[in-house]
Amino acid sequence: MIEMISDFYFARSGSKMSPMMTVLSSFAAGALGSALGALTSIVLCALVALAGIAANLAGSDLNLVNDVTFGLLLGPHVSFAPACCALCYVWKRGYLADSKDSSVPLISLNHADALLVGGLFGVAGWYLNAGLSRLAGDSIDSVALTVVLLSLAAKWIFGGSPIGRLEPGERRLGPGSRPWLSTQAPGQGFNLLTLSVIVSLLGGGITLHFHSMAAETGNPRIAEVATLFMWALGLIQLLFLGERLNVPIFHHIGLCSAVGAQMAIKAGSSDYTAILWALALGITAAYLADLLGRLLHIHGPGYVDPPSAAIAVVSPLALGIFPALGVDRPGTVWNLAVPILLIALFLVYELHLRLRIERRMNP
């Protein structure tokens, strides 16, 4: 039975690891991620991603990105997500007062059961991601979706509700509701819109550059990692969150903008159209992270990562839905109309919220 299940999960990936070693390795990865803490584990993942990008640029035969960054050691689905789940568990047990403090290394609590719980979620994360990848192929970001589903499950198991219960007088959405980040809330000083435009331009531009390098050098592996640079950079600078500095959180914007640009590049669009798509999907990811943070993360105990939720929702647009509908094809009306409409939608939304906030402040 175990071999049959393993064959289903790994038929697509081609993994030659035995089922027992897979279970042991993913358990160890989840336990280690929990010991390090969610923040440290994802930063280490990003550091290895940068090393993997450099290896691809150098023409290395070792694929650090696939084998380590998103593999059985540091993959967010077997390291970061289990650490978030274990964080909710230690809150439930009374070991920690704040179930959302992702900077805490859980080994510092001196409770080995926290690491064991992280290990169990590591096994669940590996098989859930493998199953999603097997079923949906490359049309979704299965890692991001796994992170979200696993965290929601932990929030339900240990907190009683996957989306959290509202306190009396609280609102989940709309005026007066709590934002995920006060420095990146829509309608407050245009910070979110400005940040998303800046990061999207960089994410799209770097993706174009990597694809150009791949064509010039004849090394297709450079293009394979084109979407990861801004994602990794955005995660590494989160180290400063541990110092309680309000650094911007933008890795989801960087990744989604790069995926949007890459979709346009693969379809044969011009550089300008690729940048337009980068802006559209980067801005969409920025605003969805705030929305999903209010829906899934803010209320109740447990840590459900809003950037991962945004990536899980936005990336399928570029990876599967838009190409399937032909929206990415150059020369069609939709290839320009859809990204322009998305940008206009969130610009109007930002202005609308800004006006509502000003009216509340100056009745």
State pLDDT tens for residues 39-65: 999 999 999 999 999 998 888 877 888
Least confident of 271-285, 330-344, 345-359: 345-359
Q: Return the pLDDT at 61.
A: 78
109 vs 188, higher pLDDT: 109
Domain range for 45 = 1-160
C-beta pairs of 159-164 under 8 Å, 24+ apart in sequence: 159/88, 159/92, 159/99, 159/300, 159/301, 159/302, 160/300, 161/300, 162/296, 163/295, 163/296, 163/299, 163/300, 164/296, 164/298, 164/299, 164/300, 164/301, 164/302
Same domain, 44 and 131: yes
Two tokens, residue 39 = 């923040």
Does residue 267 surpass a pLDDT of 80? Answer: yes
* pTM of the full structure: 0.93
Residue 148 belongs to a domain: yes
Two tokens, residue 269 = 């669009």
Which range is most confident: 161-170, 238-247, 254-263? 254-263
Task: Average the pLDDT over 69-82 and give the result.
Answer: 93
Q: How many domains does the chain have?
A: 2
Q: Return the pLDDT at 89.
A: 97
Same domain, 111 and 205: no
Q: Return the pLDDT at 294.
A: 93
Does residue 14 surpass a pLDDT of 70? Answer: no
Out of 114, 130, 160, pick the residue that ends a domain.
Answer: 160
Q: Are 331 and 272 in contact, with CB atoms under 8 Å apart?
A: no
Q: Return the pLDDT at 112.
A: 97
Q: Give the chain's mean pLDDT.
A: 91
Does residue 130 surpass a pLDDT of 60? Answer: yes
Q: What is the DSSP string of 135-163?
A: HHGGGS-HHHHHHHHHHHHHHHHHHS-SS
Same domain, 58 and 201: no
Q: How many CB atoms lie within 10 A of CB 269?
A: 21
Q: Are 4 and 51 in contact, with CB atoms under 8 Å apart?
A: no
Same domain, 148 and 52: yes
Same domain, 120 and 213: no
- The span from the CA of 253 to the CA of 274, in Å, is 15
Same domain, 74 and 143: yes
Residue 146, exposed/middle/buried by CB under 10 A (0-12, 13-18, 19+)? buried
Residue 269 belongs to a domain: yes
- The span from the CA of 139 to the CA of 159, in Å, is 32
Reported as a pLDDT band with limits 50, 70 and 90, residue 1 is very low
Same domain, 132 and 5: yes
Out of 108, 136, 160, pick the residue that ends a domain.
Answer: 160
Q: Return the pLDDT at 10.
A: 45
Q: Return the pLDDT at 264.
A: 97
- Closest Cα to residue 136, out of 128, 124, 147? 128
Residue 166 belongs to a domain: no
Residue 107 belongs to a domain: yes
Reported as a pLDDT band with limits 50, 70 and 90, residue 363 is low
Same domain, 97 and 208: no
Same domain, 91 and 149: yes
Contacting residues for 78 by C-beta, under 8 A, at least 6 apart: 26, 29, 30, 33, 72, 122, 125, 126, 129
Residue 188 belongs to a domain: yes
Same domain, 185 and 43: no
- For the chain, give the percent of residues with pLDDT over 90: 72
Task: Average the pLDDT over 176-199 and give the result.
Answer: 90
Residue 340 belongs to a domain: yes
Q: Are 160 and 99 in contact, with CB atoms under 8 Å apart?
A: no
Q: Return the pLDDT at 16.
A: 62
Task: Average the pLDDT over 262-290 and give the result.
Answer: 97
168 vs 225, higher pLDDT: 225
Two tokens, residue 236 = 């590494």
Same domain, 302 and 323: yes
Same domain, 1 and 60: yes
What is the three-class DSSP state of 330?
Answer: coil
Least confident of 4-18, 83-97, 162-176: 4-18
Q: Return the pLDDT at 329.
A: 94
Q: Model confidence over 204-230: pLDDT tens digits?
A: 999 999 999 999 999 888 999 999 999
Out of 160, 185, 210, pick the residue that ends a domain.
Answer: 160
Residue 165 belongs to a domain: no
Q: Return the pLDDT at 15.
A: 53
